[in-house]
Amino acid sequence: MRPLLTVDPSDWRGVQAALRARLDGDGPAVFPAEGADAPREVDDAVALVIETSGSTGRPKRVALSERALRASAEATDAALGGPAQWLLCLSPAYVAGAQLLVRGLVAGTGTVAGPIGGFEASAFARAAAAMTQPRRCTSLVPAQLARLVDAGESDPDVRAAAARLDAVLIGGQALPESLAVRARDLGYRVVRTYGSSETATGCVYDGRPIGDTRLRVTDGVLEISGSCLADGYLQDPDATAAAFRIDDGVRWYRTGDRAELGADGRLRVLGRADDVIISGGVKVSLARVEAIVRELPGLGDAVVVRAPSRAWGEVPVVVTAGAASLSLDALRRHVGEQLGAASRPADLVHVPVLPRLATGKPDRRALETRLARGADR
């Protein structure tokens, strides 16, 4: 057994030092968490424990080995053309932030701290200017990229700083195509990533697996194998057994995401397997509705969730904190023309602020609970 060291994630240098001790020698496993009630010891192979956001259910603690962390870091280097210095703008409490520190340690290129928490484009530009290595990269979520794009369209210093980076990895949630186009028009080298804590962060770049990652779709759900896979969930053998399985000697992680693999092997994620509702006897993908809605003016941050309906069972509802420039009727026509009548949103709800999880992802369950108490649809 190995000691488990809990480190305040706001102290990114402390997390980095603890990870260095674990990767370079026989240091304790690292758990970047604030005030966490954690076990004192974990299995000897564990190097990092990450608590999931809980966006798809009860939060779990993912146990990652040194082998998985190194495999992920080395696969990233290979996919992006070589080792790079990384600009940290995500909390080390989440796998993308922690793994960014690991990449700098494994490659020896180091890490520069950017705006962690409240993201400001000007602070990002100043931090990027402090980077010294020939190759420079960062990892952001779409909301951060949106601020960087908005600022870059009017501030040449921000634009130049972001365009100087060799890669801007975008993950955590779906990237609207309109935002990706605006970013690339500014010269930002955007790379869409797909992955999770269970895969030691992104293991698919622009639809293609990196390193020794393998993909397959079983019963419509994406499964992943490779050296980047986590050992499982800390002190939760039932959840581990449900998510990880061995098939013909190969260990697979069942993601819970619906997906398709093209003839060229490119991955297309269609949304969560549990985001499909039955509305009037017809299957409706909330993720597909959301993707279409987010391309409309003023609805780039919109969230589409389920709501109960006496007439239809369940219906999609659009929730936004933005100022939509079209009416509910126009929105229903637009969605219906592309996805059919059953997919038309039953309502367009405006809220002062979208509730979010600590990761920045929309808190869909909170919205669904609120809508369940609302007016009948």
| Domains of the chain, each with CATH number or no CATH | 2-267 (3.40.50.12780), 280-372 (3.30.300.30)
CA torsion 94→122→298→275, rounded to 10°?
-10
CA distances from 233 to 54, 55, 65 (A): 13, 16, 12
What is the model's pLDDT at position 37?
85
The pLDDT of residue 200: 98
Question: Which pLDDT tens digit goes with each residue over 301-330?
Answer: 899 999 988 778 889 999 999 777 789 999
Block residue for tokens 């402090």:
130
Q: Are 51 and 198 a contacting pair, CB within 8 Å?
A: no
pLDDT number for residue 54: 57
Q: What is the pLDDT of residue 38?
A: 87
Instruction: State the DSSP code for 356.
Output: B
* pLDDT of 300: 86
* pLDDT on residue 53: 64
pTM equals 0.82
Residues of the chain where predicted confidence (pLDDT) is lower than 50? none
Strand pairing class (208-209; 201-205): antiparallel
Task: Name which of 139, 116, 167 is nearest 10 in CA terms.
Answer: 116
